[in-house]
Structure 1
Amino acid sequence: MDTGEVCRACEELIADRRALRRDVAARLSTHSTGLAAPAGPGDTRKGMFEALLKQEFTAQEARRAVLRERAAEERAARDAAVAARQAQVEAAAAARREAPCQECGRRMEADVCGICICWKAVEMAAAETGDLVRATWTVPTAPAAREWAADQAAAEVRTEAEQAANRGRAQGATEETSACMAKLAAELTAWERQQSALAPLAQDARADAEATAAFETEMRRTHLHPSTDDARRAARAAAQAARKRAAEHLVAAALADGRERRRETPQSEEPDPYRLGAARVRARMHRPGSSAA
């Protein structure tokens, strides 16, 4: 399409053709053409130039054809490898869909069914709430009381989840929906606990250090404010914001440490029979033909 602008492809093609003509002219001037000597007075230098140019152009096109063929073969090989990998992924996904849930034995479309995913999220929220209580415990000489408080906080999350699931069942919701309601209730309770933990963590020594540093930094910029009082107000605001950020960081660090500890804790090879039994009961509830209505 003629846009009136310089075409980069055409420029490169013209440059290649000019380079070829220069190379042919150089070879002709040194008599290293590889062609037979002129057979008679009718053969001119121009004729030899055109013949050699044609020969070189044909050789270049042959080399390009080989490269194009090789590139096409490589592309076909890559496409075949991608198709084979995709087939493997689809076969594995189909096998997972045919396999039962690893938690409760229910038929599903992933390694764990949706019901068990929600209840596992409840357990995660409960565990993280317990971790947060341990991180904010202020009496280091009472480890037993700390563990009791952590267990009570985790139990509160589980209780909220069970109550939400029971409300869903009472309203005629499916077990999948009830499990989702339990998950949302557990996550909300855990979030509220996290927000409550910000206040004590904001008084932590680490938060104090961050607030002090922010205050001093802002006070060194007094010249940017209309008055000293304005600078102090800005410094107090910066210190308060730094204290809040430090508390949020301490909450996130406590949750991350708890997850790491649970990951490092060796899991028993024998599954918890109570947990498996509860999962199977939840999976059977509201199932067509089940006696639990």
Structure 2
Amino acid sequence: MLEPVAMVWGRLDRLSTRRYVTKAVWARLSEISGECGPEVDAERILRERLRRRLAEQGTVPVTDSVGWLIGRALPRRALCPDRRCDDGRRMDTRADCTACQMLVLDGRALRSRAFAKASAALVGGRANQPVLEAELNTSWQREAAVMAVRREDAAQERHTLERVWDEQRAQYAAQEAARQALACTVCGKLESTGMCGRCRDERRVEELVAEAVEVAVAAWGVGSEPCRLDAVRRTEEGMRGAVDQAVTDLLAAGGGVFPESVALAARLAAELQLAALRRRAVSRFAYQPPAQAEYKKVFATEMQRSHLHDSLDEARKASEEAAQRARFNTAYALLDDQVRTLQIAQPAAEADADAEPGWYAQAADQVRALIRPAPRERAVSVRRPTTSVA
């Protein structure tokens, strides 16, 4: 990136000096990327800057290589407040800097007003140079005073905002400290931010079981109430069996096992079991008519562009991959839509259940009663729900 000033760089014969200049170069590159965004070519912008600086130097020799590189060649030069401006041009777009043009226009307007005021009382509208310079100096001083007041107001506003931010940070720190000091609402453990890790993992296990039931009902229990009841039974047995097995294996390993470790093992087992269940559900939806239609449509569309590939086999392979992606994306969408439909219908079912439990709710409670509970000392993280799944 230092190709434009290779001759100047070549004069740096000490390793420490080269490291110092290299550090300054990387700092300028970081500055360019920070102001213009990561998508711009910072090295290209720096090379163009070095070419301009070298062209400005002309035939004048560079006597101090380090000083010229650090103080003149590498720094950004701009008269306007826009951080993307360098020598009157935008670094990211290479267009003329609008802020610099506004400053030029402001200066011209100021000089025009000064000339008009100095020549208004003279015959023929012509002002002599001393009067024009005096009026122009007065105008510049007036403008500088206005700008000084604006800067003072901006600094005062910035200080006010900083005080507000400090107060907000202090308030947030106090709220966070108070939140950290809260005891667990379930087991009463002190300084647990309202819920300790063990209780949080145990609650998450129940949430994962509920999610698994929704996925299973959406995939295999939509046909009839007996099918839904069977999906609930098999899913709860599978989820809780996997959780209990993970806890049993952990305790069988021996050694002192913390209750937090048991709860964590239960949560991880439930997450793995839910992920496997979702994969099976997606595979089921992947071969239903909507997903099959999407597969055929994408495959036909991709095969129409077979001329972009080297051979027909490569075109078929690429089309097959694209069609499979479309198939499974459609399957995921179908599964999510079915789960949302069940979730929307669930509150109404719960409201009806408050008045009089239906036969399905009663049957679901019977199914849960038939599931063998794990021993209390082993399935520490497994809590059987007390409400029915509707």
What is the alpha-carbon root mean square deviation over aligned residues? 3.7
Residues 1-293 of structure 1 correspond to what in structure 2 (within 5 A)?
1-3=71-73, 7-9=77-79, 12=100, 19-31=109-121, 45-137=128-220, 140-141=223-224, 143-170=225-252, 171=254, 172-221=256-305, 238-255=322-339
Q: TM-score, normalised by structure 2?
A: 0.56
Instruction: Look up the equivalent residue of 2:77 and give its one-letter code.
Output: C
State the alpha-carbon separation in 2 of the partners of residues 230 and 6 from structure 1.
51
Relative contact order, CA 8 A, sep 6+: which one is greater? 1
Q: Is the 8 A contact 1:136 1:200 kept in 2?
A: yes
Distance 1:263 1:9 in 2: 64
8 Å CA contact 1:164–1:182 kept in 2: the answer is: yes
- Work out the CA distance in 1 between the residues paired with 2:249 and 2:330: 38
What whole-Å deviation, never above 9, does each CA across 1:81-124 have from its counterpart, x for those lacking one?
22222222212111111211233322244332211221222122
Compute the displacement of 1:187 (Å): 0.5
Cα pair distance change 1:204/1:138, threshold 3 Å: farther
Q: Distance in 1 between matches of 2:310 and 2:104?
A: 67
Aligned pair count reads 259
Give the CA deviation at 1:185: 0.8
After superposition, the Cα gap between the structure-2 partners of 1:69 and 1:214, relative to the gap in structure 1 and judged at 3 Å, is same
Residues 31 and 157 of structure 1: CA distance in aligned 2, closer, same or farther (over 3 Å): farther
Q: Assess, with a 3 A threshold, how the Cα gap between structure 1 residues 82 and 263 changes in structure 2: closer, same or farther.
A: farther
Q: CA deviation at 1:236?
A: 5.0
Gaps of 5+ in 1: 33-43, 269-277, 284-293
Deviation of 1:80 (Å): 1.8
TM-aligned CA distance change 1:18 to 1:139, over 3 Å: closer
Give deviations 1:36-83, integer Å, cap 9, x for gaps.
Answer: xxxxxxxx9444333323322221122112111111121122112222
1:242 CA displacement: 2.9
Q: Supply the distance in 2 between the matched residues of 1:206 and 1:230 (Cα, whole angstroms).
A: 26
1:16-35 CA-partner distances (Å, limit 9, x unpaired): 55553443222111139xxx
Runs of 5+ in structure 2 lacking a partner? 1-70, 81-87, 89-99, 355-375, 382-390
With normalisation by structure 1, the TM-score equals: 0.71
Report deviation, 1:195. Answer: 1.7
Q: Percent identity?
A: 31
Asked whether the 8 Å contact 2:220–2:227 carries over to 1, the reply is no
- 2:305, 2:75 → 1: CA distance? 54
Measured in 1, the distance between the counterparts of 2:222 and 2:128 equals 103
